Amino acid sequence: MSVAFSTDELYLSHEPPGGVPHPERPARLSAILGRLESTGLLARMQRLPERDASDEELLAVHDRGVLETVQAQHAAGGGWIDADTFVGASSPAAARRAVGAALAATWAVLDGSARSAFVAARPPGHHATRDRSMGFCLYNQVAVAAAAALARGLERIAVVDWDLHHGNGTQAIFDADPRVLYVSTHAYPYYPGTGTVGERGLGEAAGTKVNIPLPHGAGDRAFLAAYGQVAVPALEAFEPELVLVSCGWDSHARDPLGALAVSTGGYTAVARLILDAAERLCDGRLVAVLEGGYDEHALACCAQALCELLLGEEPTPDPEQGAGRPEVVHEIEAVIAAARASAGLD
């Protein structure tokens, strides 16, 4: 069965007003697309048609004020929602299309026309909450896709977030929903300041929000331990019908914002773990949606490896690997024990 892929040139026009330098820049996506094109991977994936998210679809997870704020900034000629989050001339259109792409990829996987999918879109989305755009994110495409799949009748959806930063928006939107398992590894303490082990979900959803806050410089061994000992067992206990991945590659050792020193090989090993889990638990139904990542080399290499894995091919090694700090491996043991207990795995 094929692997679906979605992107659009519109995403390249999402830029801050006045040409202000910003890490969330078009070159991020260009690096990914260039690598997938040059390696022939694009030609081996099923290209999905573009579509925009409707107001109704966005309002399933966002208050109307979020949409109105984005449009107001656009009508004013562009501006800043906060110190990090901009609205440029093409931003509202790009953000709607990014959400539409996540929805189209999810439908392709659920309808059986594709086994899995990768959405290479920007801006990212996992920081956008029900009532606020923030952290480079205007709308939360993974949350919208999850809500739409639930409305379609799915009963258990897992979101795996391997971005450097905690996806506070996604967690908050589904904090009281036991149908959504949210699993996140992230640097802590770090922006946005959320994602402690004690954040387990509310009410009936307690235990379905699994946070694994990692110390700075954690590196590959700690990253893999977090997934092998916490994330994958949590998925196995939950038995999802669909896995959505908030696919941020800013934990990479090369990333200018990164603090976890994970190598391309480390990211690839974690992706293999999650893909294997999806294969066992939900017939491989998985949709990965681009989030952060601000080094072009790391983005290109990690995207190549992910797509090779999705296609059932052996990933191409990246010679530029990160090491992390060996002493951090010992620090991670307490975090893993606490995360396992919080998720009810012990």
Active site residues: 127
- Between CA 174 and CA 209 the distance in angstroms is 9
Dig out the tokens for 276 from the structure. Answer: 């294997």
Does residue 290 sit in helix, strand or coil?
Answer: strand
Cα 305 versus chain centre, distance: 16
For the chain, the helix, strand and coil percentages under 3-state DSSP, each to the nearest 5: 45, 15, 40
- Between CA 52 and CA 58 the distance in angstroms is 10
The alpha helices in 113-240, defined as continuous H runs, are: 141-152, 168-173, 219-226, 232-238
List the Cα angle 213/258/100 in 5-degree steps.
85
| CA torsion through residues 52, 54, 57, 60, sign | positive
Dig out the tokens for 10 from the structure. Answer: 């519109």
| CA torsion through residues 35, 37, 43, 49, sign | positive
Cα 277 versus chain centre, distance: 17
